[in-house]
Amino acid sequence: MEKDSNDGREQRKIEVTTLASGYKLAVPLLLLKGPKPGPRVGISATIHGDETTGVQVVRELWRSVVQSSLSGTIVFMPVANPLSFESLTRNTPLDMLDLNRQFPGARDGWFSEQLAAAIDEHFLNEIDFYIDLHAGGTFPFVDYCYLLNDEGLSRAFLSELLYKPANLYSGTSASVAVTRNIPTIVVELGGGYVEQPKHVQRAVSGVSNILRYIGCLPGAVEKLERQILMHDLKVIRPRAGGLCIPERSLEVGMVLEKGTKLAETISPYNFETLEELRAPFDKNIVVLCRNYITRVNPGDYAFMIGDYSSAEILGNER
């Protein structure tokens, strides 16, 4: 690993491999070291290359966090999957695998497994807290975060919607961190055909509040008086590809009745309706949505809907 130190800021590289083109693939890291002792916090983005909001969040944090006020070290990984970021795809184009299903990886496996193994060894294995930034991707936008192994950590991000899954997806960077008892949060915020600055600022504010919560930054920890904890979340995936035409503009957090029409998929060739997408639960809460006409393929993330009936309301005493 190469490094270049300058007043508490370092740039490092995780050397991964050499591609057939001769290009030496590496994952850059940015380290911000405070003058006082404290935890080592890992912040990753762009594990999925079409979720570029996280890069913007890391950029703002790198520029805005005051190094002299920091206790401990923040390790930023703005682009975890450079090839996926270059092609603006969820999966790695070299082997078409989802990097966030390959952790902890394998040094002699597929390329994505080798990349995961390098990130695991030189990033995940060296941190005390983990913040993993995701977004809705190219077309949809999203706004919620996972509650995994530290409720206070997740609530400190200040999302109104939280999700506690019965089981984490196997092979994610977060699942590896959780098995090692590293306090972990996965953030899902931004993306899609909407202006990103408001999402970026929300994420910067949320991460900064987390850094105060764990003692890396000074100041009072903000709290929301009311947050919704979902236990059941359904991805609405089209069975037919074409143009996805939303029924109306939706907002994340909006409550919908059962069967509410979300969108229809039409053929771009003869304009026939191929499928209608509807809210699945008795009472529904919008988590991810598309508010513009977009292309969809079968199996794409079209909408994500939470079961409002089984959700908990979390409060904070002031």
Task: Retrieve residue 184's tokens.
Answer: 């972990």
One-letter amino acid for residue 204 of the chain: V
Run of H or E residues at 167: none
Task: Give residue for tokens 């899609």.
Answer: 192
Backbone angles phi, psi at 213, to 5 degrees: -60, -40
- Rounded to whole angstroms, the Cα distance separating 55 from 61 reads 10
pTM of the model: 0.95
Q: Which range (3-12, 49-58, 167-176) has the least confidence?
A: 3-12
Q: Which residues of 47-74 are buried (b: 16+ CB within 10 A; e: fewer)?
A: bbbbbbbbbbbbbbbeeebeeeebbbbb
Residues 277 and 236: beta-carbon distance below 8 Å: yes
CA-wise closest residue to 195 among 316, 51, 53, 39:
53
**pLDDT tens profile 160-215:** 999 999 999 999 999 999 999 999 999 999 998 888 899 999 999 999 999 999 99
> What average pLDDT does the structure give for the chain?
95
Residue 234, judged by CB atoms within 10 A of its CB (0-12, 13-18, 19+), counts as: middle
Q: Over 50: is that where the pLDDT of 25 sits?
A: yes
DSSP 210: H
Kindly list the structural domains of the chain, giving each domain's residue range(s) and its CATH number in brackets, ordered by start.
Answer: 2-229 (3.40.630.10), 232-313 (2.40.50.100)
- Rounded to whole angstroms, the Cα distance separating 172 from 119 reads 12
Backbone angles phi, psi at 151, to 5 degrees: -60, -45
Q: 29 in helix, strand or coil?
A: strand
Quick one: CA torsion of 160, 265, 100, 43, rounded to 10 degrees? -40
**pLDDT tens profile 101-140:** 999 999 999 999 999 999 999 999 999 999 999 999 999 9
